[in-house]
Amino acid sequence: MYSEDMSTRTRLVNATQELLWERGYAATSPKDILQRAGAGQGSMYHHFAGKQDLASAALEESAAMMRADVDILLTGEGSPLDRVIAYLERQRDSLRGCRMGRMTYDADVLATPELLRPVAETLQWVVATVTTVISRGIEEHEFPEGTDAHQLASMVVATVQGGYVLARAQQDPAAFDAAVDGAAGLLRSWSRR
């Protein structure tokens, strides 16, 4: 339940963002959303065309938040290698999984272009941004010449996404940490070649 100074529309979007992260699209009902937002049926159908429309707005908002979070790590302090390792190591709440990545296993999302688009674009953006940082590292001779920046970036992002899967399966964040630590170790070694 949100504070009164947020508009009903905002409370609806926020509640939907949370539920999409926790349970996914198909498993989230309008009733769940309304209860968490402290709103009635009418409000939702006044502000949005329906569940899908609201979910679309919520996903776009979550996508923007994820980009902002990742951007801070990748454009922050330190050398290119430091920043890639910051992206790997500073993920929080690994048991919650990825707001965007989890949607790829929701059949309704895959089948609905408006819902898949923010997911596809955001993950694509993360890979592209890591690729840019690694390319910079190659220019600065922190990574060897001939490094395939896109392959390396794909591996880095996949390690994070897959680390979430392993941690959720074991219900243990240590499984995530082992994966990203393994990737960070290899990257450090690669940069010293």
Partner DNA sequence: GTCTATAACGGGATAGAC
Partner DNA sequence: GTCTATCCCGTTATAGAC
State the minimum distance, in angstroms, from the CB of residue 101 to DNA: 21
State the minimum distance, in angstroms, from the CB of residue 105 to DNA: 17
State the minimum distance, in angstroms, from the CB of residue 8 to its own copies: 26
Interacting residues with its own copies (CB under 8 A): 22-24, 26-27, 97-98, 100-108, 110, 116, 119-120, 123-124, 127, 148, 150-166, 168-171, 175, 178-183, 185-187, 189-190, 193
User: What, of DNA, its own copies, none, does residue 9 touch, CB below 5 to 8 Å by kind?
Assistant: DNA
User: What, of DNA, its own copies, none, does residue 76 touch, CB below 5 to 8 Å by kind?
Assistant: none
* C-alpha to C-alpha distance for 156 and 56, rounded to whole angstroms: 28
Nearer CB in complex with DNA: 28/91: 28
Of residues 21-60, those binding DNA (CB under 7 A): 26, 28-32, 39-43, 45-47, 50-52
Contacting residues toward DNA, per CB under 7 A = 7-9, 26, 28-32, 39-43, 45-47, 50-52
